[in-house]
């Protein structure tokens, strides 16, 4: 087997065996004559053999490209022979257009918190109408339980979840149910505990800074290899684990001043791999920039990513449903139904407009003639938008079932790619709170203090005495889904509604390209109703608490279409007059044109 390591500043590199081979003599690596800074050596090795590297007589360190860290962060790596795994299901892939994503955290989807336990629940998602499971990060992090965004090994899989083989079993099972798998990966930083990359080379730079400290080195000396390191890890997930797409965390924190941005280089590599594998692969960005260049083609100067999260849609929908107006909700809360209408038709709310939360203008307009709507993800809830609330309270904690049904219809019938957060489909009452498991007491206290500062800055209700301790095991335990809920009221009715609306969505043609005329919105801010027309489907929602709304369902300047009710929640009838539908308070009706 060939062992390779990039360590440009080292004068001597040896491989030290561990585990069952700990008694064997170390193996000296030689400089690679063709690649500066690289070391290499050939040695017999098998799947599971443990090893570490020592630089210039220093302590043993895990291989930065180790696919498995059986003893956790900081421990020796283990050889993984990907060819040993037996895949049971052939998989042609599943493209992004027409997709419905479901964000899932392995550690709290079930009480066991493992890939295998989560796989036992995949039939629920297939029956629901989901097309892709979107996993939160699964790279190794300190302790057993955590969100995963403080991972320290971008090539490896968290051992308590089930390690590399556990992830493969999950992906294989998902494919057997017809579900694609998207994996959340973090390229903008590594966790503070167990991160040994700086010992090997200039993986970080002080040229730029992020909320997590020094930035990943994407443009300073040595950045060629750093870029290859992260691109290589991304391709490994898609190739070796048969993942279908990657969600890229906080790409606005990827500081890169080079002529060809890291994201453009990554998207080109992924597109090339898709061609070689002959199955669709895609990249979804989380970006705070509202920048059309994120998904614009590389040929026209964009980064060429295939989609991006759209927090503006979330914020508009959230304020319209809840009336919250603090923090980043302030701009949307001034006229929330109008803000929702703007995002449904234009994608971004802040498209060069002033953002009071940022104290400056923000974003740029999308060109609907060049950007298919499916390139934006729409959602009512995500791990961030729930988990960054002080109590981690979901919408179901404050809204009526009727408003939850309205939210579902707007997300699932929007022109965008919809995404649900686990348990949303039945109005789960379990909270989703921030939790960690840092063994280092100083780091644990720093995390506690940091969260208290964040909560105070956002003016959340209560005091730090009310806010959950991230390090308390009970915080994680509260977040585990209660799988008895879907079978009882009021959850069962909401679950049936989600299945109904997703069934209607499946009957719609997959988006083939941008069509600005396909989406039209009318609304009444004061009466709190909105009508969304997306192709042949119309969604009429009445968000008012106690008043009935007569909503015109036709389109101005066009003959009234003949419509039929496809699905309804709450009080709905046709007594509103010609071309009108009467919708009760906190109710929704979905109508379709009769051919």
β-bridge pairing 353-355 and 213-216? unpaired
Which residues make up each annotated binding site? 247-252, 311-315, 383-388
Inter-residue contact 496 to 563 (CB < 8 Å)? no
Q: What is the mean pLDDT of residues 562-568?
A: 91
Is 286 catalytic? The answer is yes
Residue with tokens 């703007």: 342
> What is residue 409's three-state secondary structure?
helix
Residue whose pair of structure tokens reads 């036992």 in the numeric block: 120
Question: Average of pLDDT values for 227-245?
Answer: 98
Specify if 53 maps to a domain: yes
Residue 45 falls inside a structural domain: yes
Asked if residues 271 and 285 have their Cβ atoms less than 8 Å apart, the reply is: no
Exposed e or buried b per residue across 335-360, where buried means at least 16 C-beta atoms within 10 angstroms of its C-beta: bbbbbbbbbbebbbbbbeeebeeeee
- Domain limit, last residue, from 43, 61, 79: 61
| Angstrom distance (rounded) from CA 38 to CA 3 | 11
Please give the tally of structural domains in the chain.
Answer: 2
Task: For 142-177, write each residue's pLDDT tens digit.
Answer: 999 999 999 999 999 999 999 999 999 999 999 999
CB atoms within 10 A of CB 207: 15
Top pLDDT among 455 and 346 is at: 346
Of the candidates 150, 265, 286, 331, the residue annotated as catalytic is: 286
End-to-end CA distance of the chain: give it in Å, rounded.
Answer: 64
Indicate whether 557 belongs to any domain: yes
Percent of the chain residues past pLDDT 70, beyond the cut? 95
Question: How high is the pLDDT of residue 443?
Answer: 85
Average pLDDT over residues 480-486: 98
List beta partners, residue 209.
214
Q: Does residue 578 sit within a domain? A: yes
- Spatial separation of the C-alpha atoms in residues 568 and 188, rounded to whole Å: 44
Is 388 a member of any domain? no
For the chain, what is the largest distance between any 2 Cα atoms, rounded to a whole number of angstroms?
88
* Predicted local distance difference test score (pLDDT) of residue 467: 87
For helices 311-322 and 401-412, what crossing angle results, to 10°?
160
Report whether 101 contacts 131 (CB < 8 A).
yes
Q: Is 425 a catalytic residue?
A: no
Q: What local confidence, expressed as pLDDT, does residue 334 receive? A: 97
Q: Which residues contact 39 (CB under 8 A, 6 or more apart)?
A: 4, 5, 6, 7, 10, 13, 29, 30, 31, 32
pLDDT digits (tens, 9 = 90+) for 429-441: 999 999 999 998 8
Alpha carbon distance 129, 500 (integer Å): 9
pLDDT in tens, 120-136: 999 999 999 999 999 99
Q: Which of 338, 401, 380, 402 shows the shortest CA–CA distance to 584? A: 402
* Collapsed DSSP state (helix, strand, coil) of residue 506: helix
Which of 61-65, 71-75, 170-174, 504-508 is predicted least confidently?
504-508
Q: Is residue 311 part of a domain?
A: no
Q: Please spell the DSSP secondary structure of 389-454, one letter per residue.
A: STT---GGGTS-HHHHHHHHHHHHTSSSEEEEETTGGGT--S--------S-HHHHHHHHHHHHHH
51: containing domain:
2-61
H or E stretch covering 387: helix 383-387
Which residues face 11 on adjacent strands?
none
In the predicted model, what is the mean pLDDT of the chain?
Answer: 94
No. of H helices and E strands in the chain?
Answer: 15, 27
Give 543-584 as a DSSP string.
--SS--EEEE-S-TTSPPPPEEEEEEESSEESTT-TTEEEE-
Check 184, 219, 225, 249 and give the catalytic one.
Answer: 249
**Domain termination site, one of 61, 81, 112:** 61
Q: Please state the φ and ψ torsions of residue 178, each to the nearest 5 degrees.
A: 80, 15
Which of residues 460 and 241 earns the better pLDDT score? 241
Q: How far, in Å, CA of 297 to CA of 53, rounded?
A: 41
CA 188 – CA 206 distance, rounded (Å)? 14
Which of residues 11, 30, 61 is at a domain's end? 61
Mean pLDDT for the stretch of residues 455-482: 84
Q: Is the peptide bond before 28 cis (omega within 30 degrees of 0)?
A: no
Radius of gyration of the chain (CA): 25
- pLDDT greater than 90 at residue 461: no
Q: Does residue 13 contact residue 70 with C-beta atoms inside 8 Å?
A: no
**Backbone torsions φ then ψ of 529, nearest 5 degrees:** -120, 155
- Where does the pLDDT of residue 214 fall: very low under 50, low under 70, confident under 90, or very high at 90 and above? confident
Taking residue 319's Cβ as centre, other Cβ atoms within 10 Å add up to 22
Q: Is residue 212 part of a domain?
A: no
Residues of the binding site for substrate: 247-252, 311-315, 383-388
Q: Tell me, what DSSP letter sits at residue 61?
A: B
What is the CATH classification number for the domain harbouring 40? 2.60.40.10
- pLDDT digits 0-9 by tens, 299-315: 999 999 999 999 999 99
- φ/ψ of residue 402, rounded to 5: -65, -45
Domain-located, residue 348: no
562 pLDDT band, cuts 50/70/90, is: confident
Average pLDDT rounded to a whole number, residues 218-226: 97
User: Is residue 197 within 8 Å of 146, Cβ to Cβ?
Assistant: no
pLDDT tens, position by position, 530-558: 999 998 899 999 999 999 999 999 766 56
Provide the CATH number for the domain around residue 528.
2.60.40.1180
Nearest to 366 by CA among 283, 288, 293, 287: 293
């Amino acid at each position: 087997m060939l062992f390779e390591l990039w360590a440009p500043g080292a004068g001597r590199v040896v491989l030290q065996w561990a585990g069952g081979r700990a008694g064997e003599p170390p193996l000296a690596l030689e400089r690679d004559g063709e690649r500066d800074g690289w070391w290499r050596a050939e040695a017999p090795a098998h799947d599971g053999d443990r090893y570490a590297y020592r630089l210039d007589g220093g302590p043993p360190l895990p291989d930065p490209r180790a696919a498995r860290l059986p003893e956790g962060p900081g421990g020796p790596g283990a050889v993984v022979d990907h060819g040993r795994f037996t895949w049971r299901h052939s998989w042609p892939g599943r493209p992004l257009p027409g997709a419905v994503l479901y964000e899932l955290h392995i550690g709290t989807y079930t009480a066991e918190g493992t890939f295998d336990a989560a796989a036992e629940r995949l039939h629920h998602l297939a029956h629901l109408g989901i097309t892709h499971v979107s996993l939160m990060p699964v790279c190794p992090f300190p302790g057993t339980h955590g969100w995963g965004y403080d991972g320290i090994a971008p090539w490896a899989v968290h051992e308590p979840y089930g390690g590399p083989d556990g992830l493969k079993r999950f992906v294989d099972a998902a494919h057997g149910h017809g579900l694609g798998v998207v994996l959340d990966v973090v390229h903008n930083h590594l966790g503070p505990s167990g991160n040994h990359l700086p010992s090997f080379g200039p993986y970080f730079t002080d040229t730029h800074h992020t909320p997590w400290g020094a930035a990943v080195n994407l443009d300073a000396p040595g950045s060629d290899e750093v870029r290859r390191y992260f691109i290589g890890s991304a391709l490994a997930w898609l190739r070796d684990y048969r993942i279908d797409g990657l969600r890229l965390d906080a790409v606005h924190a990827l500081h890169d001043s080079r002529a060809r941005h890291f994201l453009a280089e990554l998207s080109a590599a992924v597109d090339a791999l898709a061609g070689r594998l002959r199955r669709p692969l895609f990249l979804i960005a989380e970006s705070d920039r509202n920048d059309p260049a994120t998904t614009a083609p590389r040929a026209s100067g964009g980064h060429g990513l295939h989609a991006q999260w759209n927090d503006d849609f979330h914020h508009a929908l959230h304020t319209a449903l809840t009336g919250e107006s603090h923090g980043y909700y302030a701009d949307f809360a001034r006229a929330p139904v109008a803000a929702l209408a703007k995002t449904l038709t234009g994608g971004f709310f802040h498209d060069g407009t002033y953002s009071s939360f940022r104290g400056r203008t923000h974003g740029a307009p999308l060109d609907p003639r060049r950007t298919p709507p499916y390139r934006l993800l729409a959602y009512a809830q995500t791990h961030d938008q729930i988990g960054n609330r002080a109590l981690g309270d979901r919408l179901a904690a404050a809204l009526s079932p009727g408003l939850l049904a309205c939210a579902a219809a707007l997300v699932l019938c929007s022109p965008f790619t919809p995404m649900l957060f686990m348990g949303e489909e039945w109005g789960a009452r379990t909270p989703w709170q921030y939790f960690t498991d840092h063994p280092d007491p100083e780091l644990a206290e720093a995390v506690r203090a940091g969260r208290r500062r964040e909560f105070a800055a956002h003016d959340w209700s209560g005091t730090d005495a009310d806010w959950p301790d991230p390090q308390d095991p009970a915080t994680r335990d509260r977040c585990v889904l209660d799988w008895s809920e879907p079978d009882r009221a009021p959850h069962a009715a909401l679950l049936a509604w989600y299945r109904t609306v997703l069934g209607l969505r499946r009957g719609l043609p997959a988006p083939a390209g941008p069509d600005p005329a396909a989406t039209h919105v009318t609304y009444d801010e004061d009466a709190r109703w909105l009508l969304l027309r997306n192709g042949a489907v119309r969604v009429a929602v009445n968000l008012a608490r106690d008043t009935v709304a007569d909503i015109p369902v036709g389109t101005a300047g066009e003959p009234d279409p003949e419509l039929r009710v496809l699905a309804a929640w709450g009080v709905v009838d046709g007594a509103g007059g010609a071309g009108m539908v009467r919708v009760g308070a906190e109710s929704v009706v979905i109508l379709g044109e009769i051919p």
